[in-house]
Amino acid sequence: MNRTTLHRLLPPVLAFALGAVGVFGYAPFYLYPLPILALAGLIHLVRVNGAAFGLAYAYALGAFLAGVSWVYVSMHEVGGMPAPLAGLAVLLFAAYLALFPAAAVGLAARWPLTEGWRWLTAFPALWLVAEWLRGTLLTGFPWLALGYAQAPAGPLSGYAPVFGVYGVGALAAFTAAALALRRWPGLALAAAVWLAGLGLMQLPWTRPVGEPVSVSLLQGNIEQSLKFRPERLAGTLATYRELALASRARLILLPETALPIFLDDVPPPYLAELAAHARAQGGDLVVGVPLREGERYYNAVVTLGSAPAQTYRKVHLVPFGEFVPWGFRWFVALMDIPLGDFARGPRAQPPLAAAGQRLAVNICYEDVFGEELLHALPAATLMVNVSNDAWFGDSLAPWQHLQITQMRALETGRWWLRANNTGITAIVDARGRVRARLPPFTTGALHGSAQGHAGLTPYARWGNAAALAAAGLTLALTGALGRRQRPPG
């Protein structure tokens, strides 16, 4: 390989490595400055070498191949897809996701402003819009949005209750640009943004209401390959029965599809015993179970106990896991997945009244879409996520999912209770701090208490509208200014 070829290949290789290294900024490592430093390195490479779209694409491909590699586990190790096809599918998935940050960087490099101003103004706004689009188009996949790395300890997380994860990501992108440019005005403004974030972290955006409620979050640790086997059903029901009856909490939570058969197939004495135990504690039990209503099937949660029986039906379904996108039935046929097409539950379902609280329930993947959860506020006092991350084995996915919950806690100003089949089962307070958690891949119950909250954060009131409006206004003003500054002819 001659020197010219090496010189040509080195920038994209470095960009790819920067993207991959940035993944260490997310859970379980929580090195929150690292993704910002990695992005600053990318901007430096673009300024030196040009080729903005290509270098940014290499960077994003490295980030997604490293950060969502757990998709391979769900398709090959759990789903049984042949390894070459599963690897190819992960590569194509990452290649699609990489288009969004690459487009943001590519457009920023061509924005009609002087170099310093385009990176400090247009780039953060374009980054925000690109991440929002990635989280919206084709049902959306906002995993590894830049802002998540800031939860819960990064100073920029102070902006989460105001602008949400996309706004936090835009401020992180601004910081990266300031570091890459190394000019005092930008660095001074970035420092001011971080100091203001520290101040915002101290504000009580919502207020406690009522007394804390005792909770037990059950983790059955049922291996995914065994979960839906008929011969394993009796053992699964016995595991959750034993864990539930040992609890003295007012609120007992079981994970997503903890009972892996349709509700009307569960033996009535089993449900009656769980309900009687919950009533004896003066509270309720909340359990994930598939629901059959005529020709329609739902991934659902039901309550048993003191309060009248209530149901939540999952709304935002997982492509290829809970429904098959048009034209992809052949792809799903390559995997041995026992779930077929679920129906979507109605939007804006009210919180469930249980154990003296109002529970805003969401199932697994739904907590990735923060704005879709806001309809339950301010009525909800607690947020509840029931999940089954056994699909992804011992990978980064369960830890990243926990960090997403931490960001949601900051955005909503509510405690979050996570009951997960194999983990990570956790209690997260309104400041995004993990108060208690179970080790993953263990069978047990997490006992603790949770404090209900009332009130609305600015983000809960506005959703993503405020951040998108700020980005749109920034792009409109800078675009108009750049066109005015461009010399005639």
Catalytic residue IDs: 256, 314, 364
First to last CA, the chain: 44
- The DSSP code sequence of 44-79 is HHHHHH--HHHHHHHHHHHHHHHHTTHHHIIIIIIT
> In this structure, what token pair is assigned to residue 245?
């009856």
Distance CA 140, CA 57 (A): 19
Cβ-count burial of 467 within 10 angstroms (0-12 exposed, 13-18 middle, 19+ buried)?
Answer: buried
Query: Residue 399 in contact with residue 423, Cβ under 8 Å?
Result: no
In DSSP terms, which residues pair with 357 in a beta bridge? Answer: 354
- Contacts of residues 168-172 at CB distance under 8 Å and 24 or more positions apart, as own/partner, are 168/407, 169/127, 169/128, 169/131, 169/145, 170/124, 170/125, 170/127, 170/128, 170/467, 170/471, 171/124, 171/197, 172/35, 172/36, 172/39, 172/146, 172/147
Q: Alpha carbon of 131 to those of 60, 262, 398: distances in Å? A: 12, 37, 21
In DSSP terms, which residues pair with 284 in a beta bridge? Answer: 251, 305
Q: Quick check: helix, strand or coil at residue 305?
A: strand
Question: What is the helix, strand, coil percentage profile of the chain, to 5?
Answer: 55, 15, 30
State the Cα angle at 258 between 256 and 264, rounded to 5°.
Answer: 105
